[in-house]
Amino acid sequence: MPAEFPADSVGLVKPQCLPVNQPLTLASGRVLESYDLVYETYGQLNAERSNAILICHALSGDAHAAGYHSQDDKKPGWWNNYIGPGKPIDTNRFYVVSPNNIGGCGGSTGPTSTNPASGKPFGPDFPHLRVRDWVESQRILMDHLNIQQWAAIVGGSLGGMQVMRWSLEYPDAMRHCVVIASSMHLTAQNIAFNETARQAIMSDNDFHDGHYYEKAVVPRLGLSLARMIGHLTYLSDNAMEEKFGRELSSGSFRLGQDSDLEFQVASYLKYQGEKFSTSFDANTYILMTRALDYFDLAREYGGDPVKAFSHANAAFLVISFSTDWRFSPQRSQDITNALIAAGKSVVYTDIESDFGHDAFLLKNPRYEKVFQNYMQHVHQELQAGE
Amino acid sequence: MPAEFPADSVGLVKPQCLPVNQPLTLASGRVLESYDLVYETYGQLNAERSNAILICHALSGDAHAAGYHSQDDKKPGWWNNYIGPGKPIDTNRFYVVSPNNIGGCGGSTGPTSTNPASGKPFGPDFPHLRVRDWVESQRILMDHLNIQQWAAIVGGSLGGMQVMRWSLEYPDAMRHCVVIASSMHLTAQNIAFNETARQAIMSDNDFHDGHYYEKAVVPRLGLSLARMIGHLTYLSDNAMEEKFGRELSSGSFRLGQDSDLEFQVASYLKYQGEKFSTSFDANTYILMTRALDYFDLAREYGGDPVKAFSHANAAFLVISFSTDWRFSPQRSQDITNALIAAGKSVVYTDIESDFGHDAFLLKNPRYEKVFQNYMQHVHQELQAGE
């Protein structure tokens, strides 16, 4: 319980809710008649309304990207390392908008919300979503906030996919795109991991084909397993080796006993799984991983990413992490190469890190510096009124 | 149904069973009073009884390494690519002995066998095993077959661990060791994958803490998931990409529909999981993955692999595969470096392959050639009576 919040923190923040009563026609053809969009904002919108930054969250993210919800809050928002006074996304300079995506479980309308048609939770009947559906709903929020153009749209992983889709759907709606640890589409291995995680949830006896709310249970074991599988792909082999090695958390290798040995890495993963399973919604997990699988930036451009990016007008910063094997540096280089071939402005950097895909959330001096420099340039451009 | 078997096949083979009534004190201190060892043999033992090769199997292997069990058999044994007339392990020259390990589910005593103390299946009460317990039981089989020295002991993955343990426990009981796609111990990431697979099995409602036999059920969904997780680590990212890419097996990406899309890679993995779950035993899977986790070649040598290998007298062939990320080429190089530092004879080669860990089972001209050359040398040595 901090007596006061750190000086580089945005401090106490409060989520807001935008109820949207305008129907949203989804990529699947289904229509969401009305929905809530929960979002947080940090910093001040300037008089020209030109300093707004949109944050797009990843699989398990939500609107709470920075600051604290209460004085007792033990943990700040999920990207607090990078959003705050003096941080790369400097709230002394920028007005930051961080929505929870529809289909999520962080307040915006999703599977846990009441389906007006039935009076029961949507559950598995919540429509499948594609990344473009999030772009469309974020666009509604943009209009509501009376923002004509984002100074930048920023996101890591699944968030980076939203950034790229924005750049093609609304080329003039942002000046800059920051795409971190992302990919233009999933590989077969990525899809296979997601499918295995979904099968873990769906195999749980408490899943009830997604109608678990009505049974007052949650598929805790399945969701916990899904998270363990996911978590494994976020961490690098090296990081796990350095953090845990072959250390035991219980039992002993001495001969003459047969009790269960448990390795620290196993205890850690189980703990992570269990913690997640009590705070996240299983139907949302399925929906979000499906959106990841379906995403293919260039599908409607004949599979040609150069043709796709030829529609973009923004300038890009692309960042990857050396030990990320979920979305490897090669995936970011593919994005960069397509942008270059399409004649767009792009800065690309690969950051040395031991922490795999997770690195995009963690403190890292080089990453901070590159990100900060780029955002300073975004700010200078605004001041110059270019 | 082949009218006749291929000429380079060992043809029709029949498993044999050795009932052992001599108690086996396990590394854990527990005692297996009696047990059955099922094994197959191919080729002829020579007059000097010097041409015997021991095959050590991996996680899901069994005694059926080569040939066919019946005229209708659709598939030959698991290492048929490498054992047979004219193949690297040439049955015209060698007498091949392939046991099923205790704790397995291929006929040798394991969790599915009746516990004489209770009259019920052992189930989860089957003692935990270490790799050295397999070495000890294989040693009993060696004595039974009246073999003084193996010409070579050969194994991939978990099988390679048995080969290395043999070389330290009985340094004069073999002339050569062939260690393929193996490691001196698992990494934290390896352990984490195994733990996730075990949790998948143990989370299944039909697991009943391992006492599922009595309930006449099997934890099919959990075992299927465990296999999916394992299988993911056997395949390389590249191999999956080339084989499946982002091809769909059902549904369509066209807008205007919301039916379940399924990727081919997902269908394939689910099929593999389901197939495995009807043929393998869940308690055995748990036991085998634990033995993998526990294995640490140098633990009793102060963690020093050079000190460990100083006890070996055999000559070694060590093979790795370029895209194997379960036991990466680095793990085989660690083995090789320790052998060199210990002043032992070792030949090491890394084979270019797209097929990840699975490559050790698959046909590959370069792998075949290296393996064949080495085994020819083993044979020439025997003929020279060195």
A97 shares its domain with A133: yes
CA A173 to chain centre: 20
Q: Residue B110 has which token pair?
A: 């394991």
**A227/A201 Cα distance (integer angstroms):** 10
Q: How many CA atoms lie within 13 A of A224 on its CB side?
A: 26
| B358 labeled part of a ligand binding site | yes
**B34/A178 Cα distance (integer angstroms):** 66
Asked if residue A253 belongs to a domain, the reply is yes
Query: Between chains, do A225 and B232 touch, taking CB under 8 Å as contact?
Result: no
- pLDDT of A257: 55
Tell me what the mean pLDDT of segment B346-355 comes to.
97
Nearest to A53 by CA among A174, A166, A160: A174
CATH number of the CATH domain containing A98: 3.40.50.1820
Domain-ending residue, one of A288, A307, A340 = A288
In contact, B113 and B281? CB cutoff 8 Å:
no
A-chain residue closest to B263, CA distance: A191
B84 shares its domain with B129: yes
**A13/A71 Cα distance (integer angstroms):** 10
A234: three-class secondary structure by DSSP: helix
Among this protein's residues, is A176 annotated catalytic? no
**B152/B314 Cα distance (integer angstroms):** 9
Helix, strand, coil shares of chain A, percent, nearest 5, are: 35, 20, 45
In contact, A225 and B196? CB cutoff 8 Å:
yes
B71 shares its domain with B172: yes
Asked if residue B178 belongs to a domain, the reply is yes
Asked if residue A171 belongs to a domain, the reply is yes
- pLDDT of A249: 86
A208 shares its domain with A134: no
Among this protein's residues, is A357 annotated catalytic? yes
Residues facing A319 on adjacent strands: A180, A349
Provide the shortest C-alpha distance from residue B108 to chain A (in Å).
21
B119 shares its domain with B230: no
Query: Between chains, do B263 and A191 touch, taking CB under 8 Å as contact?
Result: yes
- Tens-binned pLDDT, residue by residue, of chain A (386 aa): 456 899 999 999 999 999 999 999 999 999 999 999 999 999 999 999 999 999 999 999 999 999 999 999 989 999 999 999 999 999 999 999 999 999 999 999 999 999 999 999 999 999 999 999 999 999 999 999 999 999 999 999 999 999 999 999 999 999 999 999 999 999 999 999 999 999 999 999 999 999 999 999 999 999 999 999 999 999 999 899 999 999 998 887 765 455 677 899 999 999 999 999 999 999 999 999 999 999 999 999 999 999 999 999 999 999 999 999 999 999 999 999 999 999 999 999 999 999 999 999 999 999 999 999 999 999 999 999 76
Query: Measured between CB atoms, which of B224, B258, B265 is closest to A29?
Result: B258
Please give the backbone phi and psi of residue B293, each rounded to the nearest 5 degrees, phi first. -60, -45
- pLDDT of B3: 62
**A353/B323 Cα distance (integer angstroms):** 22
B72 shares its domain with B181: yes
B140 shares its domain with B168: yes
Which residue of B131, B199, B260 to mutate against A (max A Cβ within 10 Å)?
Answer: B199
Which contiguous run of DSSP H or E holds residue B54?
strand B52-56
Asked if residue B4 belongs to a domain, the reply is no
A325 shares its domain with A344: yes
Asked if residue A31 belongs to a domain, the reply is yes
Tell me what the mean pLDDT of segment B237-260 comes to.
80
Asked if residue B9 belongs to a domain, the reply is no
B-chain residue closest to A242, CA distance: B188
| A227 labeled part of a ligand binding site | yes
- Over residues B50-100, the pLDDT tens digits come to 999 999 999 999 999 999 999 999 899 999 999 999 999 999 999 999 999
Domain-ending residue, one of B239, B256, B288 = B288
A40 shares its domain with A179: yes
B178 shares its domain with B220: no
Nearest to B360 by CA among B330, B306, B331, B319: B319
Distant-in-sequence, close-in-space partners of B28: CB < 8 Å, separation ≥ 6: A255, A256, A257, A258, B127, B128, B129, B130
Q: Which residues of A touch B228 (CB under 8 A)?
A: 192, 195-196, 199
What are the start-end ranges of the E strands in chain A? Answer: 16-20, 24-25, 31-32, 35-42, 52-56, 83-84, 89-90, 95-99, 150-156, 174-180, 248-250, 262-263, 315-321, 346-351
In contact, A205 and A294? CB cutoff 8 Å:
no
Query: Between chains, do A246 and B196 touch, taking CB under 8 Å as contact?
Result: no
Which residue of B25, B30, B136, B191 to mutate against A (max A Cβ within 10 Å)?
Answer: B191
Which residue of A125, A187, A196, A330 to mutate against B (max B Cβ within 10 Å)?
Answer: A196
Asked if residue B7 belongs to a domain, the reply is no
- pLDDT of A367: 98
For the four alpha carbons of A146, A148, A149 and A151, in that order, the dihedral sign comes to negative
- pLDDT of B121: 96
- pLDDT of A82: 98
CA quadruple B365, B243, A164, A87: dihedral, nearest 10: -60
- pLDDT of A164: 98
Query: Measured between CB atoms, which of B29, B273, B294 is closest to A256?
Result: B29
Domain-ending residue, one of B288, B304, B339 = B288
- A296's torsion region: left (phi>0), alpha (psi -120 to 50) or beta? beta
A87: three-class secondary structure by DSSP: coil
Query: Between chains, do A265 and B232 touch, taking CB under 8 Å as contact?
Result: no
Nearest to B197 by CA among A190, A246, B189: B189
In contact, A68 and A42? CB cutoff 8 Å:
no
**A287/A302 Cα distance (integer angstroms):** 26
CATH number of the CATH domain containing B220: 1.10.1740.110
**B157/B61 Cα distance (integer angstroms):** 11
Asked if residue A9 belongs to a domain, the reply is no
CA B176 to chain centre: 18
Q: How many domains does chain A have?
A: 2
B90 shares its domain with B221: no
- pLDDT of B1: 45
A204 shares its domain with A177: no
Domain, as residue range, for B368: 16-185+296-383
Burial of A169 (0-12, 13-18, 19+ CB in 10 A): middle
> Which positions of B are annotated as active-site residues?
157, 324, 357
Q: Is the ipTM of this complex over 0.95?
A: no
Query: Between chains, do A188 and B269 touch, taking CB under 8 Å as contact?
Result: no
**B259/B240 Cα distance (integer angstroms):** 25
